[in-house]
Amino acid sequence: MESKLIDHLFRHHSGKMVSVLTRIFGLAHLEIIEDAVQDTFIKASLSWRTQQPNNPEAWLTQAAKNRVIDIFRKLKTERKYFPNLSQGTDAIAIHELFLDTEIEDAQLRMIFTACHPKLDSRDRISFALKTVSGFSTKEIASALLTKDDTIKKRLSRARKAIQKEELQFHIPQGNLLHERLQSVMEVLYLIFNEGFHSNTQKHLIRTDLCGEAMRLCQLLLKREHMRTPKVYALFALMCFHSSRLEAKINSDNELLDLKHQDRSLWHSPLIELGNAMMNKAVEIDEFSSYHFEAAIAAEHLKAKTFETTNWNKILGWYKSLYQLQPMPSHVLTMAIICVQSGDYKKADIYFNQLNPEDLVQRSYLYFAAKADYFTGVNQLKEALTYINKALEAVTNNLEKKFLEKKRIDLLNII
């Protein structure tokens, strides 16, 4: 139980601690700071075996404050000036940096630093996931569909670039802010997606990651000059998807697709919040990918039953999305929509535009969709072939069980 609690707290608080300590000591000492935070959680894992504190979050915050003194002592040889942190104005200043509003400010600084244009775009995302949200190297590799060693190189490259360019730990202003905001939103979108549909083997849904992405997005919306239509649309999308989290898996821990979800479990307050955010997001005429994705999610939520889903409208939104982002995954989704609506001829056209290898770790979705297509046109042997291919390619255990059940249903028909 202690390890689960520590994992949970690490996910939610390591980014805060790294951000605050970076604000105190500067980006030049980021590696020392990250090691210090890691040590704090190792200390917690050992200390809490015998007795868990009444307020674990307060314990970690106090531990982080104590680490400030330890880090200053470690850096003493590098600095001529060493403040007295045990008393006086220096101690007060440090204490104030751990107030909620200052923690939020520090995290915003870290997000915008991670998304600096002088960092490679791939390195930005990896660095943000590591420093802001406490992802492990393995989790980042999973989220970005790449290898652990690649992520290690990206993180190392980002740290070196920060040192070389002497980047400042601040939030940009004016036009620079809006440029950097685009990269920030991409990172938050990625964090949320990894939670909503995880690439890890054991967990399909990771609500802590969804919650973290939403929390960070809300930090943006708290700042008046960051409340852009795109940010509102992104938050609306997160609300719409989060409203269905409870219905995605049943009491037997089985994955449920949209057709079989209990729609009474969809969380109406989140849907209402998403609608309110979308009303603010559409106050302009130029829409982003977040606008279209949110519109698609909203259309699913409007349908009282799966059968009454307006597939034509959803397909139209996906076409608009594809114009902005010509990605293989969007083509696959359009094919799936056509299968759902019974337009197999159009579905075949979309399938012919795809190569499953282009979908990398999501290739199993292509094979599963082809199985549904062949089932729909009553070519059951071909359907079975593609279900088998999907089962070979899938890595997540819940999705594997879902596909195995479909295979059994198919065999019963044959």
Query: Running DSSP on this structure, what letter comes out for residue 285?
Result: S
Rounded to a whole number of angstroms, the distance between the first and last alpha carbons of the chain is 47
Does the residue 310 lie in any domain?
no
Does the residue 263 lie in any domain?
no
- Based on the domain organization, do 110 and 71 belong to the same domain? no
pLDDT of the residue at 82: 46
- Based on the domain organization, do 366 and 380 belong to the same domain? yes
Does the residue 383 lie in any domain?
yes
- Based on the domain organization, do 217 and 107 belong to the same domain? yes
pLDDT of the residue at 93: 65
- Based on the domain organization, do 120 and 69 belong to the same domain? no
- Based on the domain organization, do 115 and 161 belong to the same domain? yes
CATH code assigned at 357: 1.25.40
Domain boundary among 98, 123, 156: 98
Domain boundary among 73, 98, 123: 98
Count how many Cα atoms sit within 13 Å of the Cα of residue 324 in the half-sphere of its side chain.
Answer: 12
pLDDT of the residue at 1: 46
Does the residue 260 lie in any domain?
no
- Based on the domain organization, do 110 and 78 belong to the same domain? no
Number of domains in the chain: 3
- Based on the domain organization, do 29 and 129 belong to the same domain? no
- Based on the domain organization, do 109 and 176 belong to the same domain? yes
Domain boundary among 49, 73, 98: 98
Does the residue 52 lie in any domain?
yes
Cα distances from 338 to residues 40, 53, 282, 308, in angstroms, run 52, 55, 28, 15
pLDDT of the residue at 87: 47
Residue 165, amino acid:
E
Query: Running DSSP on this structure, what letter comes out for residue 249?
Result: B
Does the residue 307 lie in any domain?
no
72: tokens are 């200053």
- Based on the domain organization, do 82 and 57 belong to the same domain? yes
pLDDT of the residue at 195: 81
- Based on the domain organization, do 106 and 74 belong to the same domain? no
Residue by residue, pLDDT tens for the chain (414 residues) are 456 666 777 767 888 889 988 988 889 888 888 888 888 878 877 888 778 888 887 787 777 777 777 777 777 655 544 455 444 445 556 667 777 888 889 999 999 999 898 998 889 888 988 898 888 888 788 767 678 999 999 999 999 999 999 998 999 998 889 889 998 998 899 889 878 876 665 666 778 778 888 999 999 999 999 999 999 999 999 999 999 999 998 888 888 999 999 999 999 999 999 999 999 999 987 899 999 999 999 999 999 999 999 999 999 999 999 999 999 999 999 999 999 999 999 999 999 999 998 887 789 999 999 999 999 999 999 999 999 999 999 988 889 999 999 999 888 887
- Based on the domain organization, do 94 and 140 belong to the same domain? no
pTM score, two decimals? 0.83
Letter string b/e over residues 39-75, b meaning 16 or more CB atoms within 10 A of that residue's CB: ebbeebeeebeeeeeeebeebbbebbbebbeebbeee
Does the residue 35 lie in any domain?
yes
User: Cα(200)–Cα(393) distance, rounded to whole angstroms?
Assistant: 14
- Based on the domain organization, do 42 and 134 belong to the same domain? no
What value does the mean pLDDT of the chain take? 87
Does the residue 208 lie in any domain?
yes
Letter string b/e over residues 258-288, b meaning 16 or more CB atoms within 10 A of that residue's CB: eeebeeeebeeebbebbeebbebbbeeeebb
Instruction: Quote the domain boundaries for residue 152.
Output: 102-227
